[in-house]
Structure 1
Amino acid sequence: MRRPLRVLVVTLALLVASAGCSGGGGGTGDAVWQPRPGLDWQWQLDGPVDPSVDVPVYDIDGFENSAADVARLHRDGRRVICYVNVGAWEDFRPDRDDFPRSVLGRPNGWRGERWLDIRRLPVLRPLMERRFDMCRDKGFDAVEPDLVEGYANDTGFPLTARDQLRYNRMIADIAHERGLAVGLKNDLAQIPHLLEDFDFAVNEECAQYDECGRLRPFTAAGKAVFHVEYAEPRAEFCPVARELRLSSMLKKPELGPWRRPC
C-alpha cells in the first residue's frame, strides 16, 4: 500500500502545482510555463535548498543547486525558478573570468559584485546565453534575472532607460529561446514597456515604498507577482497583497529557508 500512496500524493501535488499554471518548461519544447497570480512560493538563495516547504514554486540559485536538486523538487510537484544575476559581475561565480574588464563598472553595494555595461550586447549576450543554458540543462522551468535596472543606479556607465529596455528584452528572448519562463525583477518604472516580454514579476519591498500598485498590470494580465518584504509587518502588507493578488511573504534579507507567507 505504501508505493501506490506515494504515487497518489505526487500526482495530487502535480495537479496542485499546475492549477494556476500553463505550459511546460525546462527547454522541453512545450509551451513556456505561465505562473498565475496568487501562487505560493519559496525564495531561498542561501544554503542548501530545503525541499520541505509545501508550496508549488521554488526560486533558487542556478549555480549553487544541481540538476538533482531541481529533479527532487520536480518529483515533489514543484516548479523551479533559476536565480541568475544578469546585471552585475560576481567574483565568486565559476564564469567570472569570461567577462572582459571593459564591461565591469562600479561596485553595486554587494560584496564581490560590480555593475555591467549593459550597452555591450554582443559581449554580454553569449555570456548570458551560457548561463541560461545552465538553467535549461539543469531542468529549471524559469529564470529570475537579477539587477535589471542598472540605468537607475550609479553604475559608472551613462546608461539610459532605452539601454535597459533593449537589454531586458534581450534577456527575455534568451530565456524564451530555451523554453524558460522569465520574470521581471523590480524595475517598476518600465513595467508598461516590458509587460508583454515577461511571464511574471519578482519584487522586493513594494509595500515598504508604497509601490505595490505599480505591479497591478502583471496580475491584471494573469501573470504572477512573487513578492517579499523584509521589514514591514505582515499585518501591514498582507491585506494589500491579497487585494492585488500578489504572492507575498516576509523573508529575512539573507534569503534562507525561513518564510512567513500572507
Structure 2
Amino acid sequence: MRNGLEARLTRGVRRALPACLVLALLGAAVACRPEPAPSGAPMSWPAASARHWRWQWQLTGVLDLTVEADVFVLDPVVTTAAQTTELRSRGRRLICQVHVGSVHPDDPDIGRYPARVRGTTSSRTGRTWLDVRRWETLRPVLADRFRLCRGKGFGAVVLADADGYDQDSGFPLTFDDQLEFSRRVAALARSLDLSPGLLNALAQVAALAPDFDFAVNEECVRLGRCAKLLPFADAGKPVFHVEYAGVTTDFCVTSVGYGFASIRKNRTLDAWQDPCPPPP
C-alpha cells in the first residue's frame, strides 16, 4: 500500500516540485544535494553547496569506489570508463586531473611534445616543464587530454602545474605568460564541456578566480596561505583543500572557517583519507 502511494506521489509532483521536496513528502531522511551533471555537460557548482562538498583525491593504488564523498579527483588515464560509470551511478561528481604545464616520461602522449617545447626536468617529480607560450603546439595535445576526460564521463578538470613561470622551467616565462596560458586552457576546457579548476598556483588566484569554477589546494594551513584562496570562497566557488601532516582537529578549524572542504591525505594520494567534519 505504501509503495503504491509513494509511486503516485512521485509521479504527481515530480515535474512541479524540486526533487528534495518530493523526498520530504515521502519522508526520506536524506540531505538535499545537487544531482551530478549528465554525461556530456560541464559540471555545475551551486554556490549554496560550496562549503558542504565531501571530496576524495586518489591518484595511486586500487581505486576505492566506496569512499563516502560527493566529489572524486582522479587520474583520467588509469581510471577506467567502468569505474567512472559506477561512480556516476552513485551520484558522484568527477574531476580529472591533467598536467597542463609539464609532461612525464610515462605519459602516453609524450611523443606529441616536440623538443622545442620541453624545458627543465624536475628531479623531485621527474616531470619536464613546457613552454606555455607555444599555445598552437600545446593546444591540440591538451584538447585530446580533455576529450579523454569527457569521454570517460568526467564533468570537470583541474589544471596541475599551471605555475611554470614560478619554477626553474628552462624558459623565460613571465607572470603574464602564465596568466594568458591558464586562461586559454580554462576556455579550452569549457569549449569541450568541462568545468575548469585550478590546482595551487596561489600567486595567481586573485587574477584567475573569475576564469575558474573551483580550486584544489595543498597545505595552505601549514604554509599559512589560506587567505589567498578567498577569491574563490568569497565568490561561492568550492575550494577542495588537503593537508598531509597533523590531525584534523588541528587544521579543520582554520580551513573550514575559510569555507573550504578539507581532508587529510597521505602524500602518495592513495585511497586513505580523514575528512574534516562538515560545517553546520
TM-score normalized by the length of structure 1: 0.89
What is the aligned partner in structure 2 of residue 116 from structure 1?
130
Q: Could you say if the C-alpha distance between residues 18 and 178 of structure 1 is closer, same or farther in structure 2, counting changes exceeding 3 Å?
A: farther
Task: Say what the alpha-carbon RMSD is for the aligned residues.
Answer: 2.1
Deviations 1:22-72 (A, max 9, x none): 8836433xx642262331100000023110101111111011111111111
Deviations 1:65-85 (A, max 9, x none): 111111110011100111111
> Is contact 2:120–2:129 with CA below 8 Å preserved after alignment?
yes
Matching of residue 136 in structure 1 with residue 115 in structure 2: no
Deviations 1:76-95 (A, max 9, x none): 11001111111111110111
How far off is 1:18 after superposition? Answer: 7.3
What is the aligned partner in structure 2 of residue 33 from structure 1?
44
Q: 2:268 aligns with which of 254, 257, 262?
A: 254
Deviations 1:171-225 (A, max 9, x none): 1011111111111111111111111110000000101110011111111111100
Letter in 2 for 1:33: S
What is the aligned partner in structure 2 of residue 192 from structure 1?
206
> Is contact 1:17–1:77 with CA below 8 Å preserved after alignment?
no
Identity %: 42
Q: What are the equivalent positions in structure 2 for 1:49-88 lying under 5 Å apart? A: 49-88=63-102
> Is contact 1:219–1:245 with CA below 8 Å preserved after alignment?
yes
Instruction: Find the aligned partners of 2:211 and 2:179 in 1 and give their Cα distance.
Output: 10
> Is contact 2:40–2:150 with CA below 8 Å preserved after alignment?
yes
> Is contact 1:26–1:140 with CA below 8 Å preserved after alignment?
yes
Task: Give the count of matched residue pairs.
Answer: 247
Instruction: Find the aligned partners of 1:70 and 1:110 in 2 and give their Cα distance.
Output: 30
What is the aligned partner in structure 1 of residue 232 from structure 2?
218
Matching of residue 155 in structure 1 with residue 166 in structure 2: no
TM-score normalized by the length of structure 2: 0.83
What is the aligned partner in structure 1 of residue 195 from structure 2?
181
Instruction: Find the aligned partners of 1:199 and 1:78 in 2 and give their Cα distance.
Output: 17
Over 6 Å off, 4+ runs:
none
Q: Find the residue that maps to 1:208 and give its secondary structure.
A: helix
Instruction: Find the aligned partners of 2:89 and 2:258 in 1 and give their Cα distance.
Output: 31
Letter in 1 for 2:45: Q
Identify unmatched segments of 5+ residues in structure 2: 1-21, 24-29
Identify unmatched segments of 5+ residues in structure 1: 1-10
Q: Find the residue that maps to 2:189 and give its secondary structure.
A: helix
Instruction: Find the aligned partners of 1:22 and 1:160 in 2 and give their Cα distance.
Output: 40
Instruction: Find the aligned partners of 1:131 and 1:121 in 2 and give their Cα distance.
Output: 15
What is the aligned partner in structure 2 of residue 101 from structure 1?
115
Letter in 2 for 1:91: P
Instruction: Find the aligned partners of 1:73 and 1:154 in 2 and give their Cα distance.
Output: 38
Q: Which is further off, 109-118 or 160-169?
A: 109-118
Instruction: Find the aligned partners of 2:160 and 2:44 in 1 and give their Cα distance.
Output: 19
